[in-house]
Structure 1
Amino acid sequence: MSFLVDSVIMFTSQVLFFGFGWLFFMRQLFKDYEVRQYVVQVVFSVTFAFSCTMFELIIFEILGALSSTSRYFHWKLNLYVILLVLIFVVPFYIGYFVVSNIRLLQRQKLLFACMVWFTFMYFFWKLGDPFPILSPKHGILSIEQLISRVGVIGVTLMALLSGFGAVNCPYTYMSYFLRNVTDSDILALERRLLQTMDMIVSKKKRIAMTRRQMYQRGEDQNKQTGFWGMIKSVTSTQTGSENLSLIQQEVDALEELSRQLFLETVDLQATKERIEYSKTFQGKYFNFLGYFFSIYCVWKIFMATINIVFDRVGKTDPVTRGIEITVNYLGIQFDVKFWSQHISFILVGIIIVTSIRGLLITLTKFFYAISSSKSSNVIVLVLAQIMGMYFVSSVLLMRMSMPLEYRSIVTEVLGELQFNFYHRWFDVIFLVSALSSILFLYLAHKQAPEKHMAL
């Protein structure tokens, strides 16, 4: 009876997660597009539901909710379903919709979709060859073979996003990095933009008048007969065409300049608004957060470097370690096990909420940046693939943030993977991503004033 009640609870939560994924799909991703393929919506919502269920099971593990046998069963069931979706269902439908957009392959869509899926499986399987991700005793058909490869892709994505976010967040929040923009700067740029637009209009008028004169001259010369009339008509037409070509080149150059001036004007307006916003209470709060995250970024880069150089992986979760330091060095006495459980629950909850929120925001921005009416179905499926792998890898890495008594079930469910490898791999990719982001933002920040002066 207990197992049945636990299963009803899990099923109800999955239905709620599915509904949230469905609403997010309709209200955010596809609000500007007509939904033509409901299978895409179902696959996206199912991936989201089972991804969130893994985080729910982690929280249930810490709280001790449901029976241990029920949790283990639903861990296994959830893991098998999410792997089935990520490795078999989503790649197949990606190939199917890619083939559907190619007219020459319309008659054999299913065949070519299967070929795309087999190609994916080949590279997916070969991905695990260079990495020490499994214990040697695992067979080729074990579930660990699938989890380990999904983990490599997901951890790489997590590290790339984390590295960029750790650098971009303080750069975005801190008023220190804002350019000093005044109203006179904006007015001067707007004046230049208006002058450029006036020049474009005047030159287009010249083009229209020249074409009209050429047309009228051609009609007059058509009335003239004889050899000299023909020669005069040809030479005048060539001269007029050359003038039109030169003027059109000038118009094209001015239009490109006007686009650059317009974008620079919008950028200055946005910077001016950010300067005004930074003076408000909320702006000062985010500025403080920017300094906090900058310290966190430096610390994270430093620790990643230390872990890589000394080949170090933490054995104790951060909460328990922090409480032990407090007890041993500050002499404060309290129940380490009790408080580590509750603080770990809060910490894991914050990690889960911020991970889901951050990934959904990133997916939405990415979708609107590259989607079109033809490619939208394929892009949504790719985002579903990224989302599923990201969340599976989050569970894999979150294992280290859990106390030992709760960590064992995750280890048992995921199998005997080389967990230390994933943490080291995360540190390497995070460090590369963070340093690359620092270089990119430095060059972009340095180039912005030079560009403004040039315009």
Structure 2
Amino acid sequence: MLPSDDCNDCVPDYVKRNLPISSLAFSSLPFILTFLVVAVAVSHKLFPLLSGRAPQKDYDAQLPTTAFSFKERPSIAGHLKGLTARTLAVTIFSANIALSAVLVELILCEISNTVNPVARTLAIKITLPSLLFLLIIATPALEIHSVISSAGWSFGGARKAQKRVAWILEGLGLAIWLIGFWYLGRALLGSYLHEESYVRTHSISEGCLERIGIIGVCLMASLAGFAAVSSLWQTFGVKFRPVTEADISRKQAGLDATNEMLLTKQSRLRALRRKMSETPQEGFVTRIVGSIRGNVDVQERNTLQLEISGLETMRTSLSNSLLALESRRHAQLRAHTPYGRLLNFVSYIFSVYCLYRISATAFTTLRRFSSPNTSFSNSDPINNVLALLAKHWDPSLDRVAWSRQISFLLSGVMLFASFNSVLQTFLLFARLAPGILHHAQANLALLVSQI
């Protein structure tokens, strides 16, 4: 029989069959529930931790948006202007992680052939484009917006020239990111993974997925290594003195005093700006003389801005120190309970495993100079044992392929299991550059959601 030119002949019957809307919605309910549960959980638990527990007004100062007046007539544009930066960042952060969780659920459903195939197909068609848009366009655009705003450029100010320059910088930064994302991936993938003909024929979505896969694997490997070193350092390298309630109270008192001083300075700055805006326009000669002698209000405004910047940096440093003290205090109290002793024992075993992974990876890297085909996944006994167990469960599985997948999954386990150690090490490094941490705090949650 000659092959047919009709593409519908190759489509399975379950895809051709149209399900009722109610049945399709019921079959898609697991994916919807996963998205909602994960989004709500990370927005209420993980996002405040990564954003440094900063108040909403301070977070909005780091990610400024166009001001909104409630006197305006309600409209769609008005509601969009009314979105605060924190709301937008929380939405993108939660959507990134929730869609990733749904994608993992879809992959597991495809492997086990559970849930209605039509619902799976529809969920994949919605999840993949949405995740690509958020990872490649929406999240980088918001991060670039934050960097430009922190540099002093206003997107919603009264000065049209400054606003125009800010939006030009935003578009230029996003264009540079997209060009670098595409052509760097094209150079790597086209040179090492695919033939030249394949590079020309695959679609844009396939190319984006390949680039995200390569970047994701590299980031997972780097972060897993950092997590392993952090776990070793926090378990065997550093010995903290006991933390008392008095230490936490003193740190909390210092943070409260800093917040009060910061509120006072900010109130004074707002009053000064209001006074300067209500001052009548000066003449040309007066402005020339004022520029030579110096305006008292301008000098006071600059001094207040400098003091506010220093107080914000101090508040960030004190907040991180307080968070570290509370975490250590909680760990010390938990260590005297049976559950805490069990966790400490598991932590020691996990740290020994991290040491083994670092040593084995370094040894395999050195061996590749003499044997280029050597890889860690093929020589690691833990990966091979787990792959043999999987093959015993299903003899049709490819043991070598499963060994590679298990190695990658164990890297993810290392990263998530040592999250607290990574956080403590990050806070330790943050003491060296608290100012940089203060400006990067708003983008930290978005970067984590991208990874």
CA distance in 2, matches of 1:277, 1:15: 32
* Shift of residue 380, structure 1, vs aligned partner: 3.7
CA contact (8 A) 1:278 1:287 kept: yes
AA at the equivalent of 1:111: I
**What's 1:411 paired with?**
none
Identify if the C-alpha distance between structure 1 residues 16 and 146 changes in structure 2 by more than 3 Å, giving closer, same or farther.
same
CA distance in 2, matches of 1:87, 1:273: 39
CA contact (8 A) 1:181 1:272 kept: no
CA contact (8 A) 1:51 1:82 kept: yes
**What's 1:138 paired with?**
199
CA distance in 2, matches of 1:316, 1:75: 35
Q: What are the within-5 Å matches in structure 2 for residues 117-266 of structure 1?
A: 117-132=174-189, 134-136=193-195, 137-139=198-200, 141-174=203-236, 177=237
CA distance in 1, matches of 2:344, 2:88: 44
AA at the equivalent of 1:289: V
1:113 corresponds to which of 152, 156, 170 = 170
AA at the equivalent of 1:337: D
2:56 corresponds to which of 23, 28, 34 = 34
Q: Deviations over 1:170-222 (max 9, x none)?
A: 44234xx566989xxxxxxxxxxxxxxxxxxxxxxxxxxxxxxxxxxxxxxxx
CA contact (8 A) 1:44 1:380 kept: no
**What's 1:21 paired with?**
42
CA distance in 1, matches of 2:388, 2:239: 43
AA at the equivalent of 1:167: V
Identify if the C-alpha distance between structure 1 residues 283 and 46 changes in structure 2 by more than 3 Å, giving closer, same or farther.
closer
AA at the equivalent of 2:41: F
* TM-score, with structure 1 as normaliser: 0.50
Q: What are the within-5 Å matches in structure 2 for residues 322-333 of structure 1?
A: 322=385
Identify if the C-alpha distance between structure 1 residues 54 and 275 changes in structure 2 by more than 3 Å, giving closer, same or farther.
closer
* Shift of residue 323, structure 1, vs aligned partner: 6.6
Identify if the C-alpha distance between structure 1 residues 127 and 141 changes in structure 2 by more than 3 Å, giving closer, same or farther.
same
1:49 corresponds to which of 98, 103, 110 = 98
State the number of aligned residues: 297
Identify if the C-alpha distance between structure 1 residues 70 and 381 changes in structure 2 by more than 3 Å, giving closer, same or farther.
farther
* Shift of residue 289, structure 1, vs aligned partner: 3.0
CA contact (8 A) 1:128 1:149 kept: yes
CA contact (8 A) 1:134 1:144 kept: no
* Shift of residue 110, structure 1, vs aligned partner: 2.4
Larger radius of gyration: 1
CA distance in 2, matches of 1:85, 1:277: 40
AA at the equivalent of 1:384: L
Compare the two structures and name the one with the higher helix fraction.
Answer: 1
**What's 2:67 paired with?**
none
Identify if the C-alpha distance between structure 1 residues 278 and 11 changes in structure 2 by more than 3 Å, giving closer, same or farther.
closer
AA at the equivalent of 2:174: W
AA at the equivalent of 1:32: A
Identify if the C-alpha distance between structure 1 residues 361 and 111 changes in structure 2 by more than 3 Å, giving closer, same or farther.
farther
AA at the equivalent of 1:34: Q
State the secondary structure of the residue aligned to 1:128. Answer: helix
Is there any run of 5+ residues in structure 1 with no aligned partner, and where?
A: 183-266, 329-334, 391-455
**What's 1:233 paired with?**
none
| Matching of residue 74 in structure 1 with residue 135 in structure 2 | no
| Matching of residue 289 in structure 1 with residue 343 in structure 2 | no
**What's 2:63 paired with?**
none
| Matching of residue 88 in structure 1 with residue 137 in structure 2 | yes
CA distance in 2, matches of 1:15, 1:123: 33
CA distance in 1, matches of 2:125, 2:390: 38
CA distance in 2, matches of 1:98, 1:324: 45
Identify if the C-alpha distance between structure 1 residues 41 and 360 changes in structure 2 by more than 3 Å, giving closer, same or farther.
farther
**What's 2:26 paired with?**
5
* Greater relative contact order (CA < 8 Å, ≥ 6 in sequence): 1
Percent of aligned pairs with the same residue?
A: 20
Identify if the C-alpha distance between structure 1 residues 285 and 70 changes in structure 2 by more than 3 Å, giving closer, same or farther.
same
Q: What are the within-5 Å matches in structure 2 for residues 387-406 of structure 1?
A: 387-388=449-450, 390=451
State the secondary structure of the residue aligned to 1:66. Answer: coil
CA contact (8 A) 2:227 2:422 kept: no
**What's 1:423 paired with?**
none
* Shift of residue 64, structure 1, vs aligned partner: 3.6
